[in-house]
Structure 1
């Protein structure tokens, strides 16, 4: 029982993604997900020796989906999934027929997510019936490279067909963009106003992604991303990682960071403030004895006046000490357009 629960928890998101990719409807996806989970609970997984758990879960998902279609035939005949019924009513192998059909449908969709090179190879091979040798001559690359791209594309596509997390709908974000330094244009080469560029930076913030990963995640054809990525690379807002991956080159403050920041301030501000206060209070008499103008002012007023100055002086001295000891320089990054600035970015509130 514990094993089944842990598996359901691990695969819950993938199961829902599978269900949503088949039904394209939130209500039906939830209904199908529940039926899949019931099948998993009835399957006595703990008693089986399963080598490939992903494949096993997928078979359960597909089997349940087939039964779900049959059971809800009258509803689905009037929907966009009516074609699925025709496949199920035939005497052919259901899974093999469905996968063949789905491969063709998915291939058309996947082509728009491919990088320029792989997109051209796929179109020429599958739709223009060109051989790998002919493609290699047209593109000026070895035929072995063409065959590698085709194999890789088929492998990637098979993985996408099996409970792909990209099936989950992506929720676009908006960023608040600013800068520290100087810029040639307040729009920062489109970063401040272009929501597509902002979302590219957002999803590449924590993990380096290929252009195909970016396209699938955003649900946008790769051809519309290529010039955006070039602009971001030109300004060093994106950096290239390895041969074909991209990662955001500035930090984006999100809700998790802001909450952690508030938590840190809440837990540490008072203890640190007390140290400053006690240190200043212990030497206040000596300060007053210098006879400065206003030295006879109320002690609390003097503490209130001197405390911010003390904190500021300590921070500046500590900053200079670190800079000198480490041999660091506090300068803004130089951008290819001639400007020099840091990017300041944070996730905009959903209501903002």
Structure 2
């Protein structure tokens, strides 16, 4: 744009810009400072741009972005919760300031409500749910809902017209759990990256359809200035893909997000069917053979407790039923900090009760190893669930634990031959108790430790072919039950995540639950729970 036209437009919009600034600030000094910043940015932008289709929307967008940066500086980089950001980005222009102020007032009032009242507000005014439906969804009485609505109406003053809007702007989601399949980097994994609700909502907003940064900002009703930096980081670390190179590119989330607000009753039924099938058609025969084995198939534990070893045998059996690591490579993302994994998260919102049964949750197979003189001397495998006495978090599986355990075992299990800190750590974890190693060991001489663990069951008995065939049929059941719950662009990843279902660690609590019901297993002691579902293959003698 030439300077003459730029000067003309600046004069034309000066008063509107100052009016915008006054509507946002509580005093003239701050309004004047904000207005001067906006004028400068608009003028510079005019000189660089040609053929602006909507001048008013263009100026208003710049004004909104400058305002967002202005507030950010005033807040001295304090954390800003998504529910507390008051001013939406709009392309509609300055004529909507009045209605915007009305909506700002409403959002400010909503933000001051309790979580329960905010949920009731959303359900009543945005989803048009009845009092009875709200009571059922939140598991509270009808009378309680009515009481809250009365209190809410008094606070919000219903003369303010409630305007329908996108779900995320009023009822933002949050990740109820996060994880990974693969190796976390130096900075951690999904949970460490998505450390704010704003990041979580950005990822969710462009999960089912590609969106520009402007569209994301509109969906969340958060100024673009707050979105851009977070989005850039999520793209850099491989959680969101930029799908084109235009001036205003679109973005699409590539991580595997499960909406726990969906109905997962069919998946739960299938997992229980898997437990029943494997108990009857695989483990019954396996346990019978194992009971007759004097050497416990080479597995060593305190007192050679066969019941305790059977718990670990369940984990080893599932691992032996298949290996799909090669296909994993197709979907795993390499992160800037050295991490290499598929990112997972479960999503819900304040208005919905979680529908996944947390009692079955687990932390999938965790492998670790110890090396000495360029030779692998220890390989570990561990799974955490409700039947293990450990935190269900991969961080609980610390590489230092296995270094300490190797030192302890290789020194004849004598605590005086390792450091006090190492022995204290092993004792605190429960891996050593009463002066004895509690971890299940497999001694390997001149062998492949990883191969020993992955193929442990196959070396002692043949897996029936009909069991493997049933596994393939079960994969299809899982896929058909779940494929509609995920976006189209993740179809191949959905297929991958619903394959090799008999090998899943998440089957373990279902199988154990069933075995305890039919008395194929006896309950573990508290001491055994600390070390169960942990097997170590080690080079050399015990």
TM-score scaled to structure 1, two decimals? 0.44
In terms of fraction of residues, the more helix-rich structure is 1
TM-score scaled to structure 2, two decimals? 0.31
